[in-house]
């Protein structure tokens, strides 16, 4: 068994090293913040500094959730993760490499090199695996001087990872599964789904460190395990098994020590699993829903043992997945584009929670991170949709279904246009945007109605199914009728860019309405409503012709029909190209791209003529309007520079200043999934990834 483990470790180490070497040969890449554990809006831990030892690890909101990593080499302790204990010397970090599913750090002193890898098997084609809340941590060591060295590694996690605010009382446990030893911590109160909000962490359920029994580990639940390990390689005696999470004394931590033994030039690896489990993840229309992996009441211990048994196979699959996806993204959009998508991949997924409805069917709920905390916000689903349309449209269907169900209930939704949201995460009990007695002025009527119709049609096109359209045809028809009346020249109202305020006669919003009417016509044709299909397609083409006359201003098109000397990104035009609506002449895209090239700042293209700020997702949609790689790269290269140089060290913001590169607002949001729009536009590539493996 030990020999087999060394062989597996060596093969994985070799594959990882080759990938690291390949990427190091490319241009330097520096994430604004680096994902370590990224599963859902609550189980999401990041590093916001270049060196893993320069700061405590944090939840995406910025709250500290310290993970500690130490090593002992021939009796001397070094720190490789976290900034505590400060008295322990730091082992030099020699490299960091980020791929879609892996984050790898490399460290070295004069005698040994140590790699620490975080691996989350976030494969969108496997819903059971995607919803499984497990990340693998692997330490791999080898000697640099040809000699043998005794190496031990230490991993600890403070109880803050299971609390939302300071001084919450926690309880600890240690138990055995068939394959592992499990240390767990959770709050004593366990107030399940007890409140909604944005800048919150989870405080129900349990965080686990899972150590395979064959790793010969030692474990502890104590405030001083890290210092005990640094002193003599031991772990401290256990403290009391409950207490405050952050009091005047050091907060307790779960800790494991893994002996790598005598390490020579051949790499030696050890690993653990970290997990966060809760019985219920989302409340939808007053019903508590279980995580998708637990829809059949699978015990936590069974899930953890299955995850451990699949470790080697999943790691190999992850290495192959990363290499293939990055290569494909590079071929379709270039190296800079591939890097931006790599930054976006886990972040977009981790802003969602996959649960099961009462019948065990998947429901996928997105959280509007660092905005207002809304759940299933339609104008957030819209920009994030390209990632799921590219890889697994079933997930977009699972996002749209709760919104459509809600909109079809007259006792819940009474307006002739689509809703904005379903509440505030994790409580999806009905729209709260606008507050109180909602009026049309509080809504985004054209925005959300257009978004829903376009996404349902995109789903039908990519997934080859019209089930949602058929089931909710009355709602789609009502929204299309609203757009027929209000879409060409929208009244004063909000758009998804609501931070910019109400705008009347919005040219970009008008494009969305026109595209949505053609999307409705396309759905009508697929459902054999031939008269409606013909009627609405003719209407959309007529509106597109009128739009050109309304919006034209010299060499470009205006922000608003009644506003001279203005301009804006016409990012909604991308669906005319991606879904082959062909409503607008190609010359509209060409003239806009030519004009945008004259308005670029050092870090990108402003959203419009009113300010220097921009939206990252819309910049990629706008760049995708370009018909040649040179124009695409002119618009994308400043975004690559921004990602590497921004001083806003947070999980990638999508709202920033194009001159300073600083975050204006928002972070860790799912909308960065919209960066995959260029890949989605490559129909051959998108077809390949959607059909790589059947969804489960």
Per-residue pLDDT reduced to its tens digit, 655-685: 999 999 999 999 999 999 999 999 999 999 9
- Residues with Cβ within 8 Å of 435's Cβ and at least 6 positions away in sequence, in order, are 442
Tens digit of pLDDT for each residue in 154-164?
Answer: 999 999 999 99
Is the pLDDT at 211 greater than 60? The verdict is yes
pLDDT at 493 over 90: no
β-pairing verdict for 556-557 and 552-553: antiparallel
Residues 603, 607, 609: CA angle, nearest 5 degrees = 105
Out of 1.10.3720.10, 3.30.70.100, 1.50.10.10, 3.30.460.80, the CATH code matching 327-553+669-690 is 1.50.10.10
Q: How confident is the model at residue 244 (pLDDT cuts 50, 70, 90)?
A: low
The ranges assigned to domains in the chain are 2-277, 327-553+669-690
Instruction: Express each pLDDT in 565-581 by its tens digit.
Output: 999 999 999 999 999 99
Phi, psi of 593 (to 5 degrees): -60, -45
Regarding beta strands 282-284 and 427-428, do their DSSP bridges make them parallel or antiparallel, or are they unpaired?
parallel
Residue 14: what pLDDT?
46
Choice among 237-241, 443-447, 606-610 with the minimum mean pLDDT: 237-241
Mean pLDDT to the nearest integer, 584-608:
98
Angle, helices 300-309/311-333, rounded to nearest 10 degrees: 70
pLDDT at 10 over 70: no
Sheet holding 44-47, edge to edge: 34-38, 44-47, 58-59
Mean pLDDT of 137-158: 98
Least confident range from 486-495, 598-607, 643-652: namely 486-495
pLDDT of residue 146: 96
Q: What is the CATH number of domain 2-277?
A: 2.70.98
Q: What is the pLDDT of residue 440?
A: 67
Angle between helices 530-551 and 473-486 (to 10 degrees): 30
In terms of C-beta density within 10 A (0-12 exposed, 13-18 middle, 19 or more buried), how is residue 591 classed? middle
657, 660, 662, 663 alpha-carbon torsion, rounded to 10°: 0
Dihedral of the alpha carbons of 376, 378, 379, 382, in degrees to the nearest 10: 100
Residue pair 210/300 in contact (Cβ under 8 Å)? The answer is: no
> Does 45 have pLDDT greater than 50?
yes
Which of 240-244, 382-386, 461-465 is predicted least confidently? 240-244
Residue 694 has pLDDT above 90, yes or no: no
Q: What pTM does this model have?
A: 0.94
Mean pLDDT (whole number) for 23-43: 84
């Amino acid at each position: 068994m030990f020999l087999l483990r060394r062989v597996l470790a060596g093969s994985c180490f070799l594959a990882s090293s080759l990938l690291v070497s390949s990427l190091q040969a490319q241009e330097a890449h520096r994430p604004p913040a680096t994902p370590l554990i990224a599963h859902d809006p609550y189980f999401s831990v990041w590093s916001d500094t270049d060196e893993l030892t320069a700061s405590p690890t944090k939840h995406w909101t910025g709250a500290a959730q310290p993970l500690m990593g130490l090593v002992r080499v021939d009796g001397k302790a070094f720190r490789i993760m976290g900034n505590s204990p400060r008295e322990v010397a730091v082992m030099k970090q020699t490299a960091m490499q980020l791929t879609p599913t892996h984050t790898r750090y490399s460290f070295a002193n004069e005698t040994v090199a140590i790699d620490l890898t975080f691996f989350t098997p976030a494969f969108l084609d496997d819903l059971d695996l995607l919803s499984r809340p497990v990340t693998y941590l692997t330490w791999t060591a080898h000697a640099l001087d040809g000699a043998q060295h005794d190496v031990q590694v230490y991993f600890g996690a403070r109880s803050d990872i299971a609390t939302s605010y300071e001084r919450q009382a926690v309880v600890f446990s240690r138990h055995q599964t068939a394959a592992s030893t499990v240390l767990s911590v959770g709050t004593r109160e366990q107030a399940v789904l007890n409140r909604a909000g944005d800048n919150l962490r989870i405080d129900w359920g349990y965080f686990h460190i899972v150590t395979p029994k064959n790793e010969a580990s030692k474990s502890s639940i104590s405030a001083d395990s890290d210092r005990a390990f640094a002193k003599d390689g031991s772990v401290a005696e256990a403290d009391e098994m409950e207490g405050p999470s952050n009091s005047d004394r050091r907060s307790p931590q779960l800790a494991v020590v893994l002996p790598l033994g005598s390490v020579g030039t051949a790499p030696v690896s050890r690993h653990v699993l970290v997990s966060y489990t809760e019985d219920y993840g989302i409340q939808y229309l007053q019903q508590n829903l279980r995580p998708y992996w637990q829809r059949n009441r699978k015990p936590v211990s069974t899930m953890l043992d299955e995850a451990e048994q699949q470790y080697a196979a999943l790691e190999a699959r992850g290495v192959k997945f990363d290499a293939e996806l990055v290569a494909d993204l590079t071929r379709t959009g270039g190296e800079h584009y591939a890097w931006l998508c790599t930054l976006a991949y886990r972040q977009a997924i981790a802003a969602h929670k996959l649960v099961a409805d009462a019948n065990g069917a998947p429901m996928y709920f997105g959280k509007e991170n660092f905005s207002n905390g809304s759940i299933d916000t339609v104008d957030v689903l819209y920009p994030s949709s390209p990632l799921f349309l590219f890889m697994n449209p079933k997930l977009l269907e699972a996002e749209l279904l709760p919104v459509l169900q809600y909109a079809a209930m007259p006792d819940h939704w009474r307006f002739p246009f689509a809703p904005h949201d379903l509440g505030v995460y994790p409580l999806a009990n009905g729209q709260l945007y606008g507050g109180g007695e909602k009026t049309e002025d509080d809504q985004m009527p054209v925005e959300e109605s257009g978004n829903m119709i376009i996404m349902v049609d995109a789903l039908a096109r990519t997934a080859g199914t019209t089930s949602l359209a058929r089931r909710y045809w009355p709602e789609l028809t009502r929204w299309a009728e609203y757009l027929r009346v209000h879409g060409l020249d929208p009244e004063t109202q909000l758009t998804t860019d609501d931070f910019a305020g109400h705008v009347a006669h919005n040219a970009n919003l008008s494009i969305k309405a026109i595209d949505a009417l053609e999307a409705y016509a396309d759905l009508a044709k697929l459902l054999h409503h031939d008269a409606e299909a013909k009627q609405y397609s003719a209407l959309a083409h007529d509106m597109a012709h009128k739009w050109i006359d309304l919006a034209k201003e010299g060499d470009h098109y205006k922000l608003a029909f009644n506003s001279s000397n203005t301009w804006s990104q016409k990012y909604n035009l991308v669906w005319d190209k991606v879904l082959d609506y062909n409503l607008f002449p190609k010359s509209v895209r060409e003239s806009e791209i030519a004009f945008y090239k004259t308005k670029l700042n050092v870090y990108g293209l402003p959203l419009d003529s009113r300010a220097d700020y921009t939206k990252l997702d819309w910049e990629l949609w706008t760049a995708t309007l370009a018909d040649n790689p040179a124009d695409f790269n002119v618009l994308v290269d400043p975004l690559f520079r921004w990602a590497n140089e921004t001083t806003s060290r947070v999980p990638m913001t999508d709202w920033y200043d194009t001159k300073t590169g600083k975050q204006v607002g928002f972070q860790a949001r799912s909308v960065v999934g919209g960066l995959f729009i260029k890949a989605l536009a490559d129909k051959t590539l998108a077809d390949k990834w959607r059909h790589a493996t059947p969804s489960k």
